[in-house]
Amino acid sequence: MTLYGDIALLAAKNLASHDPATAWRLAAEKCCQDSVSSRDKACPRKAFEGLCWAGFVLGFPGQPKSDAEIGENGRYAVAAARLLLGKGHSGSISTAELWATVLEQTGSDPAKRHNGQMDVVMALHAHGLLQVQAAT
């Protein structure tokens, strides 16, 4: 598991009593006590928040948000979740393959590197915490 995957799993547990931003912050504080830069990294945090608001994280109902409110990293995470939860998904896919497919589907620069967004999605998926989109 990766650092941001670990944070995502703990943050998902925190959703029972906190909004997505607070759930992530509390999890990051616990997992990254010695690294402010890791704790404050926006890409994986925004990916997690985007998944939550779009209704993809089990246990959080989601709330309709615009693409602008979900943000670029949230949109990447939502695209990845749709791929992993889709009927045509074969099961095993690497983080690099998932990222390349997300970039292609979103029309993004194929040279762009992921910054923890896919780690968040992959961890939630591996632990059964992604659900088919619940929000409308």
Residue 35: Cβ within 10 Å count: 12
Q: What is the mean pLDDT of the chain?
A: 91
Which whole number is the average pLDDT over 106-110?
93
Residue 101 lies in a domain: yes
Which whole number is the average pLDDT over 127-135?
81
**Distance (Å, rounded) from C-alpha 116 to C-alpha 107?**
19
Residue 132 lies in a domain: no
Q: Rounded to two decimals, what is the model's pTM?
A: 0.92
Residue 136 lies in a domain: no
Residue 26 lies in a domain: yes
Q: Per the structure, how many domains does the chain have?
A: 1
Residue 134 lies in a domain: no
Q: Which domain holds residue 54?
A: 3-126
Residue 112 lies in a domain: yes
HSE-up (13 A, CA, CB side) for residue 30: 14
62-to-26, 52, 76, 87, 95 alpha-carbon distances in Å: 19, 6, 17, 22, 25
Q: Return the higher-pLDDT residue of 64 and 88.
A: 64
Are residues 52 and 69 in contact, defined by beta-carbon separation less than 8 angstroms? no
- Judged against a pLDDT cut of 80, whether residue 84 lies above it is answered with yes
